[in-house]
Structure 1
Amino acid sequence: MPNRRAVTGRSREPRRRFAQELRQLRSSHKVTLRQLSDRLGWDYSLFAKMEKGETLGGPEVVEALDAFYGTPGLLLALWELALSDKTQFKEQYRRYMQLESEAVSLWHYAVSVLPGLLQTREYARELLSLGGLIGTELEAQIEARLSRRTILDDPDAPPFRAILSEAVLRSPMADAMGWQAQLSHLLEFEPQGNVTIQVLPFSAGLYRLVSTDIWFLRLPQGATIAYAENAARGELIEHSATVESLQRS
């Protein structure tokens, strides 16, 4: 009779398993978050958020943790599994939506499509349809996207700055009338003092965020967080040094 595998009680969900392993290793090594920060050089708040599953951190910090704990490759392997887990996209995006509603200022750099806060119903419908959504699921996603625009209509609406790659305006909808309506909708924001729309022309040349959409939110307590998204995945970024680096891009 084959030996039965021991039950560890640890999560099979990659992101939670990664966070659990981080907590267990730090506990077994009897070090505090601040001591870990002193040893490895990253702010202790980053390690706290990694252990809570709020962020995955980057490969450099994960490799440093592997070296510190004497677990060569273990944490990096768990990190890669968590990073590739597509179910985490929705979880992080939901958290981003919550933070967006609380933000005191927002700005968005868009590389290929208009920011959701600036989209018309027709634009949102065509865009979401391209992702394969149909029927009631499509309608629900459209309503969810349009409901976000209310944060710009409030009398105390936060300032919102959108920087659009020229490619965004060079990629029209299939519906010509719908595209005209979308462009007219953008012009309606001109007299709205809290909304600024700028265009980065092709003539600006190459730049670091050439393939990444990114949002920056300034929260009431003063911290700034980022949400980066490309064709493969999205990631909520709360580590201050990483956010500052992206802002300089």
Structure 2
Amino acid sequence: MRLAVIPARGGSARIPRKNIRLFAGRPIIAHSIEAALSAGLFDRVMVSTEDTEIAQVAQHWGAEIPFMRPPSLADAHTGTHAVVRQAVQWHLEHSQPVEHACCIYATAPFVRAQDLSEAYRKLVESGKSFVFSVTQFEFPIQRALSLSRDGAVHALYPQFRETRSQDLEPAWHDAGQFYWGTAGAWLDNTALFSPASLGFALPSHRVQDIDTEEDWQRAEVLFEILARGLGQK
């Protein structure tokens, strides 16, 4: 079985009920569900939640809720890995073994079915444990600064102060959209940020973390621009 797991707990301190808040006219989780269904890869697209309202919204948009997530895995300190591991284990216990599972964030409206398909192919062909979305930092991290309490500036990497920006090695970060992995890697708690993984590069204009109201507003503007056909690469 190829399983899509969309974690969506009910609690959210910074943006209340953000997993089902309307984004571009639909609950934001609907965008992730639609991308997973459109990929045509998954035997099951499920949402892992402890919240009945989120479960109802998810089912309305085509996802399955094979079980409700236990409260012990629904607090602010529970990581994504634990949620996916529990979903894979549940299917195993119900005679539905999983070969590969993909975690797709509920607040990833820029995720695309094509990216999910290409990343899956990369996972299978590489034999790695994970393939997940990454994007490049827009500014060289070697030029990062720190500020003291009085506002004084200090270079975090003073050895690069005189290096031309074009000569600095590009740096990448987790794009926060999707994480493909083998069932064994999820069950064994294999480290994600390790040589066991490969990155799937996304352009920065299709990546936006959504943790604050400012993030949300920026994402909506970007989504509208992309919907007009701009920046489609």
Question: Which bracket does the TM-score occupy, shorter chain normalised?
Answer: under 0.3
TM-score, L = length of structure 2: 0.27
Greater share of helix residues, 1 or 2? Answer: 1
TM-score, L = length of structure 1: 0.26
Higher relative contact order (CA 8 A, sep 6+): 2
